Structure 1
Amino acid sequence: MIQVKNLSKRYGERIAVDDLSFTVRPGVVTGFLGPNGAGKSTTMRMIVGLDAATSGTVTVNGRRYADHPAPLRELGALLEAKSVHASRSAYNHLRVIAATTGIPKRRVDEVIELVGLHQVARKPAGAFSLGMGQRLGIATALLGDPETVILDEPVNGLDPEGVLWIRNLLKTLAAEGRTVFVSSHLMSEMALTAEHLVVIGRGRLIADVPIAEFTSRACTSSVRVRSPHSAALSELLAGPDVSITSSERGVLHVTGLSIEQIGERAAQAGICLYELSPQQASLEEVFMDLTRDCVEYRAAGEAATAGKVA
């Protein structure tokens, strides 16, 4: 378990993390979301003691990370995949870490096999692709068979097979009762992997909720309607508080009317319906809506686009 209490971090006049409190519990995958500059990486670095907090506390399984007699057995972290000597092989990189922390040699072979690097384990890590570097970073995080795992953007550089692999790995670790805390900018992947979300913006907590509750916060929801008479149905449903869009032939997305209202009007007009289903806003849409005022950098034209997110 990770407990963050009233955590703050200042760099001169800049506040990177501002009175942040949340708990990451075992048994579920907890996603850590926020725009660039929100303070995610700084928070993760403070959890493992790489940055000192200006105020507040962070504990891992009841203690400061540095106070554990065998820290790598308590928490494994991937914060920077390329933090490895370029001329050292993946095997030797892991072997050195294991030897200096009392981890048996056989565990090195186990994690190399687990992350799929057995064929390149003796090659210099400096020649690795981004995806291979990510796998080595994950192997390093898992080397101590820790109860808690923190991964910062673990799917960067992975191909579709690798993304599926890390998704299943995270779920397996959580199912084993471990604490899994992972950040990502890929909302579609986070929606498939995480069960709970911690969302921050400008260093402050925005949400700490199950993912289903988070997506239900959407300001609006629509109804998907499929009909061979979509043009006539669109005219029938039109009104001052009703929004109707179409992304494909014969399909309408209706906002402002309930499923019951649409079905009753269609039935009264004798219009055949092939589909009538609720469409909840995606994780990405809700995230964009809740964090639009927390974005640190925005390219030309993005401001107008952000304002249109439902």
Structure 2
Amino acid sequence: MIEVVGVTKRYGDRVAVDDATFTVRPGLVTGFLGPNGAGKSTTMRMILGLDAPTAGEVRVNGKRYADHAAPLREVGALLEAKAVHTGRSAYNHLLALALTHGIPRRRVDEVIDLVGLREVARKRVGGFSLGMGQRLGVAAALLGDPHTLVLDEPVNGLDPEGVRWIRQLLRALVADGRTVFLSSHLMSEMELTADHLVIIGKGRVIADTSMADFTARFSRKVVRVRAQEAGTLRDLLVGPEVSVTAPETGLLEVHGLTSGEIGQIACRNAIPLDELTPVVASLEEAFMDLTQDAVEFSVHPDVLTERTAS
């Protein structure tokens, strides 16, 4: 478990993290989201003891990271995959970490196989692709068989097979009761992987909720309806607080009624339905809606329009 309690981090006059409080619980993949400059990396560094909070405290499995006798066995971390001596082989990099933490040599072979680097394990890391470097970073994070993982952009540079592999790996880890704290800019992948979300903007926590509740909260409250008698159904549905559009023949998009209410109206009037689907916002849509006032760097839409038209 990771507990962030009233944490603030200042760099001179700039507040990078502002009174952040949240808990990352075992058995869940907790996604950590925020616009660029929101304070995600700073928060992760404070969890791992690389930066000291100006105020507040961070506990990992009940202690400050620095107070653990064998931190690599408690917390596995991937913050910067390129932080490796490029002249070493992948095997020797992991072996050096293992020997300095009392981890047996056989564990090095286990994680090399786990991340799929067996064929290049004896090659120098300097020649690795970005995706291979990410796999090596994940191997280092798993080396101590820790109960808690902190991963910053672990799918960056991975091909589709690699992205699917990391997703399955994280799901297996939380199924084993482990704690996973994950940041990513790939919203579609986060939507498939995370159970819970912590969202930060301008240094402050602006959401701490389950994935399902978050996307439902930002649902567009639209119901898609397909029916052969769509015109008749439309006339029955339209009212003072209900609007209906017809994007294509036989399809209605209804604003102002629930799917249950639409189904009851159709049933009373003996109109068979081919589809009755509430439209829920995607994670990307919900995230953009929530953080629109917390973006540090943005381009006005008119500028984009002018650029593409010229």
Which TM-score applies when normalising by structure 1? Answer: 0.90
| 1:7-29: CA deviation from partner (whole Å, max 9, x where unpaired) | 01111111110000111111111
Question: What is the letter of the counterpart of residue 65 of structure 2?
Answer: Y
The answer as to 2:157 corresponding to 1:133 is: no
| 1:129-182: CA deviation from partner (whole Å, max 9, x where unpaired) | 111111110001011111110001111111111111111111111111111111
Match of 2:172 in 1: 172
1:37-56 matched pairs, under 5 angstroms: 37-56=37-56
1:147-186 matched pairs, under 5 angstroms: 147-186=147-186
Runs of 4 or more above 6 Å deviation: 302-305
Match of 1:205 in 2: 205
Distance in structure 2 (CA, Å) of the matches to 1:48 and 1:192 = 26
Cα 1:263–1:302 shift into 2, 3 Å: farther
Distance in structure 1 (CA, Å) of the matches to 2:106 and 2:302 = 51
Percent identical pairs in the alignment equals: 66
Superposed displacement of residue 216, structure 1: 2.1
Distance in structure 2 (CA, Å) of the matches to 1:170 and 1:116 = 15
Distance in structure 2 (CA, Å) of the matches to 1:240 and 1:302 = 34
Distance in structure 2 (CA, Å) of the matches to 1:11 and 1:112 = 39
SS at match of 1:293: coil
Cα 1:150–1:248 shift into 2, 3 Å: farther
Cα 1:264–1:105 shift into 2, 3 Å: closer
Superposed displacement of residue 89, structure 1: 1.2
Match of 1:251 in 2: 251
> Which ranges of structure 1 fall in alignment gaps of 5 or more residues?
306-310
- Worse-superposed segment, 265-274 or 196-205: 265-274
Cα 1:62–1:49 shift into 2, 3 Å: same
The answer as to 2:69 corresponding to 1:69 is: yes
Match of 1:11 in 2: 11
Superposed displacement of residue 60, structure 1: 0.8
Aligned partners of 2:219 and 2:280 also within 8 Å: no
The answer as to 2:146 corresponding to 1:146 is: yes
| 1:208-238: CA deviation from partner (whole Å, max 9, x where unpaired) | 1222222221263211111345466556645
Superposed displacement of residue 250, structure 1: 3.7
The answer as to 2:219 corresponding to 1:214 is: no
Cα 1:70–1:260 shift into 2, 3 Å: closer
Match of 2:25 in 1: 25
SS at match of 2:293: helix
Distance in structure 1 (CA, Å) of the matches to 2:229 and 2:187 = 35
Structural RMSD (CA): 2.3
> Which ranges of structure 2 fall in alignment gaps of 5 or more residues?
306-310
Question: What is the letter of the counterpart of residue 188 of structure 1?
Answer: S
Aligned length: 305
Question: What is the letter of the counterpart of residue 84 of structure 1?
Answer: V
